[in-house]
Structure 1
Amino acid sequence: MVSFIVAWSLVIVSLCYTFFVAKLVPKGIKRLILIIPVFLIFFIVPLLISSFHLIGITAFFIPWLANFKLFLFALGRGPLSSNPKPLSLPVFLAVSCLPIKIQLNPKPPTSHSHVGSRESPLSYIIKATVLVLNFKVYDYCSKMPEKALLTLYAIHMYFTLDLILAASASVVRATSDLELEPQFNKPYLATSLQDFWGRRWNLMATGILRPTVYEPTLQLFSFLGKNWSRVPAVFGTFVVSGIMHELIFYYMGGLRPDWKVMWFFLINGFCTTVEIVIKNSVDGKWRFPTAIGRILTFGFVIVTSLWLFFPVFKRCNVFERALDEYVAIGAAVAEIRKKTHF
């Protein structure tokens, strides 16, 4: 906790510096140059933390989300600049380093809402139950086939993130006018790779990659036309996402990358661009039935994930270290209760 507090204190001080620089320097290259030291600090911050869980959270929020948001902010774009009124310092800090967005015109969810739609409480109860059962199954992991164990890792990661972010979103929504950005939108219902990666999976990353990578690349290749310029834009976005994921796993495991995660994103990026090319060619005249599209999409993502993405979890001993921390936290809580009781 001490290392975590030191690291995040450094983050807050750096963001305060950025906030006041923006008050004195207009958007543009000069502001960007003055913020460069903050970018460098944010890439170092996860290395200061010792807790495995806190490294993972910090690595996603700070080197990736916060750095990309500040890059856009330096140029007068992105979530830190889109509000019509200047942000107060507390809101600037929250939106910069957390997956929080400002609700300019809050609207109640409807039955027709798509991205970020909220699931029913029963859905979260089922996910929590499955997650608890997942922990019980880990007792037999030494007897399980490798692919079965990697599948458990996938379920663990998805349900854990979904439950934590859903709980956090409820707290943020109840205590402020801010809204936590959605992380998932029922990815198992995706009917294509484009639908899966662009509208359903890791929406926080998608939301920040779109203005920083996708849209600039789209403009750069605009000479190809509206439809075909999307091909390099989509593939370039997957390349940047792959690099950032490799960096996060380096923070978490401290191991030299074997680039399997990068290959996972390159293959999915290539196949997504091929899908876009085919859609442009047929011009919407033909598509797979919904059920078949879902089976093919989910099957492709699962197969490539088990082949290239999830082995890095095993290589870094991710879940063994996670379970060790759960045990340590439980022992600490039990010790505190014992001392309090006596």
Structure 2
Amino acid sequence: MRHLKSLPEFILLYIKCHPQLWHHVLLIHQEREMEMEEGMMNYAGAGSGQKLEGELGRFIKVSTSVVISLSYCFIAGKLIRKGKPRLFSFIPIVIFFLTLPLSLQSVHLCGSVAFFVTWLANFKILLLAFDKGPLSDPSLSLSRFIALACFPIKIDRKSSNNQSSTSSKKVNSSVWIYLIKCLLVSLFIKSKYNSRNLNPTLVLAILCLHTYLVLELTMALVAAISRFSLGLDLEAQFNEPYLSSSLQDFWGRRWNVMVSRILRPTVYDPTMWVASRFVGRKWAPLVAVFNTFIVSAIMHEIIFLYLGRRRPTFMISWFFVFHGFCLVVEITLKKLNEGCGGFGLPRMVATILTMGFVLVTASWWFFPEIIRCKAESRAFDEYAIVGAFFRRRIIGDFKFM
């Protein structure tokens, strides 16, 4: 047997040492092979265009109802005093937003509505009830109010004219980076339909990279649309999470930054205020961090319930609760070693350990749930539907010109 020379081979060796995980991966690979033959026939057929148009029609109705609901919140926020009266006026909208993802079947559309509206918009509306959060700015116009409510964005008010040249350079470099990432996603899509010839562990690694790239590209697309349509100078949502040197660095400063920002005023700060009365200001952050991860676990569980429409196994919850516990241990050790010079590791070693820990625990609890609700398979099938739709509608039109 040849020596291990690549990361996929190392992951393969790790999984083979865990029989249950290896058996699970093999079953996934076999199911993928069976779905591949059926998927190309079912989703590229004549009815795929009708399915796409029907889903887009439902998405337009959902989007229209979101705009109307947020317009109500915009007016109510100006007419009703903050506190319980405003909160009671927002409760019907919050409940309504909880039901919206059930109207959609598409993984991309249902997942986007669940994340942007059910999670972010609801949390921001709850903050507005007490005149807090990004929506409490009285100078916001209706269009900006709606954009800030349903999109994971934040206006960067620190930008100035002196920074325009540097920001333009960052934009130009970001364009090339995102083009490369789009190319990688297209290669992953192609590899899905050639998965018969791929190692099942490599398929799992592709799923990992595909999940990250799709999330980042989705956030970047939302930011670009908001920048060009509303003139907002937006902050990045991902800050190279693969370079994280600790769990605190990964979850607090690099991964999905907007979620961290919205969880701080809605969960972390209130818990910090209550916990400080019982355990003091020094140790209250530990309670606040753990409680924040519990709320994040609940919201992720709800999103996966929308995607799979199956009885939850709570594996997603275990993933976030476990990471919350480990982050509490990490912060505790840092506090205990503040006066001892610390126990810092070399940056490269810390990054390898952190990302290895995240990927291994994700392979235990997070990615199996994605596979269980067939989110990745349905996502690739939706790519095939869109591709077939445009081939018929656009390329077909050129044949008759």
TM-score after normalising by structure 2:
0.79
Q: Within 1, Cα distance between the matches of 2:315 and 2:322?
A: 10
How many angstroms apart in 2 are the aligned matches of 1:311 and 1:117?
36
- Work out the CA distance in 2 between the residues paired with 1:230 and 1:70: 25
| CA contact 2:247–2:327 (8 Å) conserved in 1 | yes
- Structure 2 match to 1:189: 243
Instruction: Show the counterpart of 1:233.
Output: 288
- The question of 1:273 aligning with 2:328 is answered yes
Q: How far apart are the structure 2 equivalents of 1:89 and 1:136?
A: 42
Counterparts of 1:1-342 in structure 2 under 5 Å? 1-81=56-136, 83=137, 85-107=138-160, 108=163, 120-142=174-196, 144=198, 146-223=200-277, 224-283=279-338, 285-286=341-342, 287-337=344-394, 338-339=396-397, 341-342=399-400
Match of 2:132, SS state, is coil
Match of 2:48 in 1: none
SS in 2 for 1:229: helix
Shift of the alpha carbon at 1:229?
Answer: 0.8
Looking at structure 2, the residues matched to 130 and 339 of structure 1 have their Cα atoms a distance apart, in angstroms, of 29
Cα pair distance change 1:14/1:243, threshold 3 Å: same
Distance 1:243 1:110, change over 3 A: farther
- Could you report, residue by residue, the CA deviation over 1:299-330 in whole angstroms, capped at 9, with x for unpaired residues? 10000001110111111111211121111112
Matches of 1:27 and 1:104 in 2, distance apart? 25
Matched residues in 1 for 2:97 and 2:186: separation?
Answer: 34
**SS of equivalent to 2:313:** coil
Aligned residues of 2:144 and 2:230 also touching (Cα < 8 A): no
Of structures 1 and 2, the one scoring higher in RCO (CA 8 A, sep 6+) is 2
Give the direction of change, closer, same or farther, for the CA distance of 1:118–1:208 in structure 2 (3 Å limit).
farther
Whether the 8 Å contact between 1:151 and 1:306 is mirrored in structure 2 is: no
Query: What is the rounded CA distance, in whole Å, between the counterparts of 2:359 and 2:172 in structure 1?
Result: 24
User: Which protein shows a greater Rg?
Assistant: 2
Q: How many percent of aligned residue pairs carry the same amino acid?
A: 43
CA deviations 1:114-170 (Å, max 9, x no partner) are xx9996444333323322222232234345555432221110011122223324423
Number of aligned pairs? Answer: 337
Structure 1: tracts of 5 or more residues without a match: none
Residue type of the alignment partner of 1:156: H
1:209-253 Cα offsets, whole Å, 9 max, x none, are 011001111111113233311111001011110110011111111
Q: CA deviation at 1:41?
A: 0.3
Taking a change above 3 Å as real, the CA distance of residues 67 and 275 of structure 1, as seen in their structure-2 partners, is same
Distance in 1 of aligned mates of 2:310 and 2:199: 24
Opposite residue 159 of structure 2, the aligned amino acid is: P
User: What 5-or-longer segments of structure 2 have no aligned partner?
Assistant: 1-55
The 3 A distance-change label for structure 1 pair 335 and 143 is closer
Contact 1:100 1:178 (C-alpha < 8 Å) held by counterparts: no
